[in-house]
Structure 1
């Protein structure tokens, strides 16, 4: 709890003066006004985050939180639960979707076992930060204790701090966990005050009972646990997941270090809702990457008040959308550094 509280206290507002300076430069670059659209807005916000006119973005990492979910017992997924462990082992080998996409921009992928049901070999290239062997079944009781939820948040903070210490200046969030769209949708239903059926999707593969059964399980979980909507940590503990908590912690840690963090799709967006409920200032440090095809993705974005940059019909997770957005962020930085102003080339406005 101490690390979480210290981290929250370190999160500050963006540097307004630097953003004004950045906007002035953008306005005077040799181009028609607003002609680079969202790249201009992004460059200004990066200046506010980093407190530097030319944001230093040259070392990137996606942190993937891997965990299992006790609600799998309810038949909400068509995939074997062992896929979580097996897929996690594939990340260090560079064989997964996010690894292929991250390679385009030279980003590394850091994989964390925060709650896989089985044991990962110590030499597998995965960071072992296990809180427990998967959450408990949220349909019958809390997914985890409040203390476990806080510890999982702090794992994310620790991972962000470690990456910053190693020189990383742009982070992305990712996850791996069979069944994790179920707790994500439960969190969203609570925070968004909506019926689970409206926002429940197939995830990586829905069980035999289909979406109706999956939504019923989520509805039951909310009824059984009665999470307090005004307390993000309570919601996380009662109907959330360890992977979701870890990602929220990464966001908190990144904000405390004034590092921009790119959020992936649906599950990352739900983790963002938790992070923002803990400290609202985190929102300004987050860059949404893409609209997931999961039904709840739009609702999550609306609650966050953000519009993701990309519409790619993706729903892989893993941090794949975040990695895909990295080159766009590079472009915003290069626009600021490389383009000249009218004054610099002796042209009159």
Structure 2
């Protein structure tokens, strides 16, 4: 499944990009007046291989969930059982992400790819190993998680989704996210490690030291996305990377949420560089690693509100912005058709 998806990921269609850029100049607005929305719409035309690209509806959010062996190292004050409890909350529709999804008109799919408790058809294993002591995952487990993400993307696309949104849940998952970002970007642990759900200075110093020691111990290879995921990643990170690859293989845009999605996108792009063309940065997480990861990917976030919740909330807030960028190419009249004089 992984190889099949990778074979379908292609570069942007330069003809469709040029057509979109030309059309932007003909619409009843000053050139460049929509700022970042104009190059975004052109890039999505290139992704789809047609101008205008498909409207970004229906929208589908997938929340990938997993637990982490690194939790045992005291990198968060939250108990691990909160991961499973929040999955129940998502299912009942009571989380912030559910409220935002209802507002945005997006479906929500919850995927237990690695929660420590309970049963799930998609579970690869009940949480990762403690990567301060040993690699978090085997290569086979990473590939299984990648293929879960690819399968969920295919399922949602086959169900009619024209834009995919990333979501995540996993207590302690900002620790592997920071480790992934450091490994892929070459930045030190102290530059990419943040406070996650809100830790004090002492715990932040400890978390940073745990990440730095693990990177030194395992020496992950940034040219091998699977290797980095196996050594210091999480199951939800790997599944999101697969979800991105799955969207890219279908030429469907994927709106990234926060730092977990950004770290997963680094892995996806290490595996298939052209997958970056499918990625839309939904928002700038308050986690410092998110900004570093997005800069490394060459992506500029659409929303900057200081969010650090995760779940997919930032991606949902960005959805109408990205959708509006595409709708402009569909519905705005040209100067000629509207009888409006140009300058």
Q: Is the 8 A contact 1:174 1:317 kept in 2?
A: yes
Q: Indicate yes or no: 2:19 matched with 1:24.
A: no
Q: Is the 8 A contact 2:225 2:271 kept in 1?
A: yes
Report what 2:332 is aligned to.
339
Report what 1:158 is aligned to.
151
Q: Point out where structure 2 has 5 or more consecutive residues left out of the alignment.
A: none
Q: Indicate yes or no: 2:323 matched with 1:330.
A: yes
So what's the TM-score if we normalise by structure 1? 0.94
Q: Is the 8 A contact 2:259 2:287 kept in 1?
A: yes
CA gap of 1:61–1:192, structure 2 versus 1, over 3 A, is same
So what's the TM-score if we normalise by structure 2? 0.96
Tell me which of 257, 264, 275 is aligned to 2:268.
275
Q: Indicate yes or no: 2:160 matched with 1:171.
A: no
Deviations 1:6-35 (A, max 9, x none): 111110112211121111211111111111
**Offset of 1:207 from its aligned partner?**
7.5
Q: Is the 8 A contact 2:302 2:321 kept in 1?
A: no
Tell me which of 173, 181, 184 is aligned to 2:174.
181
Tell me which of 227, 241, 248 is aligned to 1:234.
227
Q: Point out where structure 1 has 5 or more consecutive residues left out of the alignment.
A: 121-126
**Offset of 1:333 from its aligned partner?**
2.3
Deviations 1:162-220 (A, max 9, x none): 11111111001110000001111111111222221222111114379411111111112
User: What is the rounded CA distance, in whole Å, between the counterparts of 1:300 and 1:316 in structure 2?
Assistant: 18
Q: How many residues align?
A: 341
Tell me which of 283, 293, 296 is aligned to 1:300.
293
Q: Is the 8 A contact 1:76 1:209 kept in 2?
A: no
Tell me which of 7, 12, 15 is aligned to 2:13.
15
Report what 1:95 is aligned to.
94
Report what 2:75 is aligned to.
76
The more displaced of 318-327 and 186-195 is: 186-195
Tell me which of 32, 35, 38 is aligned to 1:34.
32
Tell me which of 240, 253, 258 is aligned to 1:265.
258
Q: Map 1:104-253 to 2 at 5 A.
A: 104-120=103-119, 128-206=121-199, 209-253=202-246
Q: Is the 8 A contact 1:78 1:207 kept in 2?
A: no
Tell me which of 38, 46, 49 is aligned to 1:48.
46
CA gap of 1:117–1:63, structure 2 versus 1, over 3 A, is same
User: What is the rounded CA distance, in whole Å, between the counterparts of 2:339 and 2:201 in structure 1?
Assistant: 68
User: What is the rounded CA distance, in whole Å, between the counterparts of 2:201 and 2:67 in structure 1?
Assistant: 20
Deviations 1:49-102 (A, max 9, x none): 222323232200111100000000001110010000000111122211111112
Q: Is the 8 A contact 2:55 2:323 kept in 1?
A: no
The more displaced of 182-191 and 133-142 is: 182-191
Matched position secondary structure for 1:309 = coil
Matched position secondary structure for 1:56 = coil
The more displaced of 91-100 and 79-88 is: 91-100
